[in-house]
Structure 1
Amino acid sequence: MREGKLGFVICVLFFLMFESTFGRFVVEKNNLRVTSPQNLKDTYECAIGNFGVPQYGGTLAGAVVFPEVNQKACKSFDDDVSFKFKSGAGLPVFLLVDRGDCYFTLKAWNAQKAGAAAILVADDRPEPLITMDTPEEETARNDYLQNISIPSALISQSLGEAIKRELSKPEMVKVNLDWREALPHPDDRVEYEFWTNSNDECGSKCESQRDFVKEFKGVAQILEKKGYTQFTPHYITWYCPEAFILSKQCKSQCINHGRYCAPDPEEDFSLGYDGKDVVAQNLLQACFFKVANESGKPWLWWDYVTDFSIRCPMKEKMYNKECADEVIKSLGVDLKKINECVGDTEADEENSVLKAEQEAQIGKGKRGDVTMLPTLIINNRQFRGKLDKGTVLKAICSGFEETTEPVICLRDGIETNECMENNGGCWMDKSSNITACRDTFRGRVCQCPIVQGVKFFGDGYKHCEASGALRCGLNNGGCWKDTQQGRTYSACIDDHTKGCKCPHGFRGDGHKKCEDIDECEEKTVCQCPDCRCKNTWGSYDCHCGSNLLYMREHDTCISKDAKSGIGWGFVWVIILGITVAGAIGYAFYKYRIRTYMDSEIRAIMAQYMPLDNQAEVAVHGSHGNV
């Protein structure tokens, strides 16, 4: 046992050296806004506890209660008749307790059991805010830690005293816990890291990591495949102090000549696996991700670590490279490339992957150093709270820019749909249920929608109007439309314009009302002599007397007979003209043909027999030669 204890001391020394070299722990904070009484109204910082369920991306309002007894909440409130969760304002209760005497987690657990919606812990000394962390004792973790579901916050001593003074008057103290800016949300992609360990024999922490990976795998892979997130796994490694490099302890806990080490799984060098087995498997998992990521399938890491924990557990003596290789082969990832990445773990040289892991542990920007496992980092800020599927997904969802979050972030249990109550105060067309209220992870926005390719324009609060082609096909473009007497009229014009205009025969605003115009009463039509006018919906009828026919285009009457005579006479004139023109054309054609044929015949006959004038010329010529 002495050797085992010495090994544990060296492991602690690794950690302390890391802390002293790089230590920069960042306290993650959210805002606490006091809304009453007036003299306390302001916004204060508070530190997010590293347990429970912080409402990332949201807010929670409540009334503060400070118990008369058990003010440190180290005991259950079940039998405390002086303490009743009645805020008097119909608001959830935020229990204010003092720091000291027991674990932060026990205070939160007792507050939750008594019905509190959140716990505020007032510091007992004037100092910068710290992070309330979980206890290391296994009994405390196993009893209640994973069941804490309320958010917690540490507030300064001065704010705690000020709230207590107001409550003693008595005054109602109303506060609003606000986590909307607790994590950055700059764009439509969330980048997050999970610092973990392949070791499965480190107690409840290892169990919580393993369970989280199994539960979160499906969600993580969907988000990654669709490009919503960029995920990177990481592994903490320590180094062996130079003075101990050749010791048996360092040789059993480190690879690459003391450069990369992990604590002994059992904290006893004489039992089971050694730290070097853990760091070697951590390296293998990091290389698996590297090769899978280069092949365009980074999400396979979730399958690998899940399958490895099931198929290759330490308890069954399967925690080795041979078992790991079988898992890798089953997932179709290039084992040769992974082995090249791992390299020679016995060589006295640096490993590029593990060196990068050590460098990544150092905090950059607003992110602190990674010093404990497990650690989740979202958009370069450390996550605080219970490591489970729902809590982590809520935090990741808060990292998306408003209106860009995936649908999974808007499901029940992840966030509250503010559009369900009074339509979020936004514009809505009740006749078609088209609304400008758009639910986002941080709350609603009033934004004129696009529905079936039709864009609505307006302020989103009191007015939205459809515009563009096909707008009349969607709720008639928001314009008036009615059907009467078998006729349908609409004030919408299906083109690239917007607005509504009553059709011909109607007057009104075109949106809610178009009234029929009585053309007969206004005497704008049917003004010809002997005409009788009758108004119809959207039009009119006009009848002429004395067997006359009404011409609507010219608002006049004409004779039915005249119209008929003139029409047939004109037709007969056309027919006669065509006939005469045809006869003349035919006669001319015959004449031309006959003339042509005569000339052709005469030319042919002239070749075989002399004609009268040609004979005389031929005779005279012959006699002269003789």
Structure 2
Amino acid sequence: MREKFGVLICVWIMLLGNCLGRFVVEENSLKVTSPGSIKGVYECAIGNFGVPQYGGTLVGTVVYPKANQGACKIFDEFDISFKSKPGGLPTFLLVNRGDCFFTLKAWNAQKAGAAAVLVADNQDESLITMDTPEEKNASAKYLQNITIPSALISKSLGDSLKKAITFGEMVKISLDWTESLPHPDERVEYEFWTNSNDECGPKCDSQMEFVKNFKGAAQVLEQKGYTQFIPHYITWYCPEAFLFSEQCKSQCINHGRYCAPDPEQDFSKGYDGKDVVVQNLRQACFFKVANESRKPWLWWDYVTDFALRCPMKEKKYTKDCADKVIQSLGVDLTKIDKCIGDIEADEENPVLKAEQDAQIGKGSRGDVTILPTLVINNRQYRGKLDKGAVLKAICAGFQETTEPTICLSKDIETNECLENNGGCWEDKTANITACRDTFRGRVCECPIVNGVKFSGDGYTHCEASGALQCEFNNGGCWRETQEGKTYSACLDDHSHGCKCPPGFKGDGVNGCEDVDECKEKLACQCPGCKCKNTWGSYECSCCDGSLYMREHDMCINAGKNGKTEVSSGFIWAIILGLVVAGAVGYAIYKYRIRRYMDSEIRAIMAQYMPLDNQPSNIHHPDI
């Protein structure tokens, strides 16, 4: 019997494998920007673990380790670190395929500080999807802790990268996920292929954890009309040759049409695959009824509540427990029972038949063969099931500028800036950084702080510019205080740059040096003057008690009686100036003001008395 069951399992796998199915490898672009000999755009396969930066890009330099080139061991044993230096680009670790799981390579690379891992294929073939291991001993906790993106590249590209690195050339790469998901309109349609089974190990545990964490965001998106969500369930059918076997009877309903593997892979205990199919059908029918009542988001409540209240481990994975959950959510139980129908009948179930049809890929989407699988805008999502990662991918499915508010909130920040500042520029003194977390991943972009625009590449430097640039780190210019005086080389205007102020010399960035005006004879040049240099300026004085006039650079002598004595030439100059000023004033008075006043006075007097030159025989009319 076990031999027949083994054959049955093989047939199930063949039906969904690459032999008869059409599995699509999801790819993103890899752009080599240097060196010039291999510059170009290549395709790479997105790994089905870690967090791909859907909707965004990641730029870094490639490193090929001299030891542990398969990354199957911890790099600490070789005293190797791939953490990027402050202000430097992130590190992409290039490793060889083989000898251990893909996930272990990514985990070891991540622990060593790499920002992404590139796995070079070891043979010339079409790209495949790197998936998490299925073996029982692959239940390591690290699987859910992998956060860096991973990609499988072709053998030829891997050889070219290794050759360039060996020759000491810097290999710079941009991983681009902006077109990994289509974004045709203002609504995102996504499907989640899942299972009600909670006894399938780490995959079931992580799947249920994702549903609980993602429920809130999913319901907000659905209620506001931003998304259209549909849950799906994978089923298999029993080959005709085994229809009457005990295995098919315990694993299938509707006369072998819809089957699921035994949860514990042991027919003698626990629940059967048949129980799983029925609960999957109940969840599908719950969604159908809730959707018809225009409350499709209730599916998330039902699935999370059922997992909490009706687990297999507590022997509560039953219809009675499920019915209580359904009733608590206010959904019509009779409609759900009618949707489920007769599971013993030798006929098709419309809901499960539709599920099997939907399993077959259409258009750019391949067949669904992996559980769980998320499909966004008819494209299969790759990466771990994590609230932030999935929400980021869904947000990448919207057209630019049409993203809902939740896509711009802190709820889906990647927190990449928390470690090593995301490899971006920062000024710790002023607490300013170029690292910014978004749903599309962290970006190194010079910020705008209080209206001041910083410009630069975002990775190695950012400089304040504009009218307020001197308010932050003094615009990157020299500034110093001495003797109670502060001088700055920052140009606080619309120009950009640094210039030492008057009284100093230098480039204005690395420093400004005080100019000794006295030594260089730039001040106090009058006879009898003496000069004293000060920081940023100078002081002049005169000998023998003389008074110094700075604006004229001259001294005024003081007499023996304490009164000020000045030279005769200076006195005559003052007198001459006063005479000239008086003459000009008199001329203005006589020829302009006096003439005007005379005419005004004559006009006034003419109103009250006859003047000599007026006629005396003026005739007045009778009154």
Residue 86 and residue 222 in structure 1: after superposition, are their counterparts in 2 closer, same or farther (change >3 A)? Answer: closer
What is the aligned counterpart of 1:129 among 116, 127, 130? 127
AA of the residue aligned to 1:66:
Y
- The equivalent of 1:70 in structure 2 is 68
Query: In the TM superposition, what is the alpha-carbon distance from 1:189 to its structure 2 partner?
Result: 0.6
Corresponding residue pairs, total? 430
Structure 2 partner of 1:199: 197
Alpha carbons 1:31, 1:45 under 8 Å: kept: yes
Q: Deviations over 1:15-50 (max 9, x none)?
A: 223437741110000111111112222111110000
User: 5 Å matches for 1:584-623?
Assistant: none
User: Do the aligned residues in 2 keep the contact of 1:72 with 1:99 (CA within 8 Å)?
Assistant: yes
Contact 2:60 2:173 survives alignment (8 Å)? yes
CA distance in 1, matches of 2:85, 2:286: 54
SS of residue in 2 equivalent to 1:227 = coil
Segment of structure 1 superposing worse, 405-414 or 317-326:
405-414
Contact 1:68–1:82 at 8 Å: present in 2 too? no
The code of the aligned residue for 1:98 comes to N
Percent sequence identity is 70
Give the Cα–Cα distance (whole angstroms) in 2 for the partners of residues 370 and 277 of structure 1: 22
Matches within 5 A, 1:448-463: none
Distance, in Å, in 2 between the alignment partners of 1:38 and 1:87 is 25
Name the CA distance, whole Å, in 2 between partners of 1:412 and 1:4. 52
* Structure 1 residue 410: Cα displacement: 1.3
Residue 396 of structure 1 is aligned with which of 388, 394, 397?
A: 394
SS in 2 for 1:60: strand
2:293 aligns with 295
Q: Aligned-pair distance for 1:81?
A: 3.6
Q: Which string of whole-angstrom CA distances, capped at 9 and with x for unpartnered residues, describes residues 203-224 of structure 1?
A: 1111111111111111100000
Shift of 1:11: 2.9
Q: Match for residue 370 of structure 2?
A: 372
**309, 323, 326: which one aligns with 1:325:** 323
SS of alignment partner, residue 212 of structure 2:
helix
Deviation (angstroms), 1:89: 7.8
Alpha-carbon separation, structure 2, partners of 1:346 and 1:4: 24
Query: Residue 327 of structure 1: SS of its match in structure 2?
Result: helix
Which residue of structure 2 aligns with residue 173 of structure 1? 171
Name the residue aligned to 1:216. Answer: 214
How many angstroms apart in 1 are the aligned matches of 2:325 and 2:6?
A: 32
How many Å separate the matches in 2 of 1:52 and 1:151?
Answer: 5
Aligned residue among 374, 383, 386 for 1:385: 383
- In the alignment, is the contact (CA less than 8 A) between 1:120 and 1:152 conserved in 2? yes
Does the CA contact (< 8 Å) of 2:116 and 2:149 recur in 1? yes
CA 1:441–1:134 in 2, change beyond 3 Å: closer, same or farther? closer
Aligned to 2:8: 10
How far apart, CA to CA, are the structure 2 residues paired with 1:4 and 1:326?
A: 37
Report the counterpart of residue 184 of structure 2 in structure 1: 186
In 2, Cα distance between equivalents of 1:137 and 1:18: 18
Which residue number corresponds to residue 282 of structure 2?
A: 284
In structure 2, the partner of 1:578 is none
- What secondary structure, in the 3-state scheme, does the structure 1 residue paired with 2:41 have? strand
Distance across 1 between alignment mates of 2:74 and 2:203:
26
CA contact (8 A) 2:388 2:413 kept: no
* Matching residue of 2:89: 91
Aligned counterparts of 1:224 and 1:251: Cα–Cα separation in 2: 39
CA distance in 2, matches of 1:398, 1:203: 31
Q: CA deviation at 1:80?
A: 1.2
Paired residue secondary structure (1:175): strand
Deviations 1:459-511 (A, max 9, x none): xxxxxxxxxxxxxxxxxxxxxxxxxxxxxxxxxxxxxxxxxxxxxxxxxxxxx
Structure 2 CA distance, aligned partners of 1:332 and 1:88?
56
In structure 2, relative to structure 1, the CA distance for the partners of 1:145 and 1:153 (3 Å cut) is same
Cα distance, 1:20–1:386 mapped onto 2, change above 3 Å: closer
Match of 2:272 in 1: 274
Tell me the distance in 2 between the aligned counterparts of 1:173 and 1:73. Answer: 20
User: Contact 2:64/2:165 (CA < 8 Å) preserved in 1?
Assistant: yes
DSSP-derived class of the 2:237 partner = coil
Kept in 2, the 8 Å contact 1:288–1:301? The answer is yes
Q: Which amino acid aligns with 2:127?
A: L
CA contact (8 A) 2:15 2:21 kept: no
**What does residue range 416-431 of structure 1 map to in structure 2 within 5 Å?**
none
Per the alignment, residue 411 of structure 1 pairs with: 409
Secondary structure of the residue that 1:79 maps to in structure 2? Answer: helix
Post-superposition CA distance 1:142-189 (Å, at most 9, x none): 231111110001111111111111111101111111100000011111
Larger Rg: 1
Q: Could you tell me how far apart the structure 2 residues matched to 1:166 and 1:153 are?
A: 19
| Larger mean Cα displacement after TM superposition, 82-91 or 364-373 | 82-91
State the distance in 1 between where 2:21 and 2:315 align. Answer: 36
Shift of 1:115: 0.4
Q: Secondary structure at the match of 2:207?
A: helix
Shift in Å, 1:79: 2.4
Hey, what's the Cα distance between the residues in 2 that align with 1:275 and 1:29?
Answer: 34
For the 8 Å contact 1:251–1:258, the answer to whether it is kept is yes
CA distance in 2, matches of 1:137, 1:19: 17
Q: Give CA-to-partner distance per residue, 1:320-348, whole Å, 9 cap, x none.
A: 11111111111111111111111100000
CA contact (8 A) 1:69 1:82 kept: no
Runs of 5+ unmatched residues, structure 1: 418-438, 446-529, 531-544, 547-626
Shift in CA distance, 95/75, structure 1 to aligned 2, threshold 3 Å: same
Structure 2 unpaired stretches of 5+: 416-437, 446-592, 594-599, 602-623
Matched residue, 2:354: 356
Distance in 1, Cα, partners of 2:333 & 2:257: 25
SS at match of 1:315: helix
Q: Does the CA-based 8 Å contact 1:4-1:270 persist in structure 2?
A: no
SS class of match (1:120): strand
Closer, same or farther: CA 181–76 of 1 in aligned 2, 3 Å: same
> What corresponds to 2:236 in structure 1?
238
SS at match of 1:344: coil
SS in 2 for 1:144: helix
> Is the 2:262–2:272 Cα contact (8 Å) retained in structure 1?
yes
2:325 alignment partner AA: V
Paired residue type of 1:103 = F
In the TM superposition, what whole-angstrom CA distance separates every residue of 1:549-593 from its partner, at most 9, and x where no partner exists? Answer: xxxxxxxxxxxxxxxxxxxxxxxxxxxxxxxxxxxxxxxxxxxxx
**Aligned Cα root-mean-square deviation (Å):** 2.8
Match among 27, 36, 39 for residue 38 of structure 1: 36
SS of corresponding position for 1:370: coil
Tell me the SS of whatever aligns to 2:178. Answer: coil
CA distance in 2, matches of 1:93, 1:441: 19
Question: Comparing 136-145 with 255-264, which one deviates more in the overlay?
Answer: 136-145
Greater displacement, 184-193 / 5-14: 5-14
Provide closer, same or farther for how the CA distance between residues 138 and 412 of structure 1 changes in structure 2, counting only shifts above 3 A.
farther
Alignment correspondent of 1:162:
160
Distance 1:379 1:345, change over 3 A: same
DSSP-derived class of the 2:313 partner? coil
Structure 2 vs 1, CA of residues 441 and 387 (structure 1 numbering), >3 Å: closer, same or farther?
closer
Aligned twin of 2:98:
100
Q: Distance in 2 between matches of 1:26 and 1:41?
A: 27
Task: Give the aligned partner of residue 150 of structure 2.
Answer: 152
For residue 73 of structure 1, what is the amino acid of its counterpart? Answer: A
- Structure 1 residue matching 2:213: 3-state secondary structure: helix
Letter in 2 for 1:47: A
Residue of structure 2 in register with 1:258 after alignment = 256
After superposition, residues 46-65 of structure 1 pair within 5 angstroms as 46-65=44-63
Is the CA contact (8 Å cut-off) linking 1:68 and 1:83 kept in structure 2? no
Q: Given that residues 412 and 439 in structure 2 are in contact (C-alpha distance below 8 angstroms), is that contact kept between their aligned partners in structure 1?
A: no
In the alignment, what sits opposite 1:477? none
CA distance in 2, matches of 1:84, 1:297: 49
CA–CA separation in structure 1 for the residues paired with 2:293 and 2:80: 64
Partners in 2 of 1:45 and 1:20 — Cα distance? 21
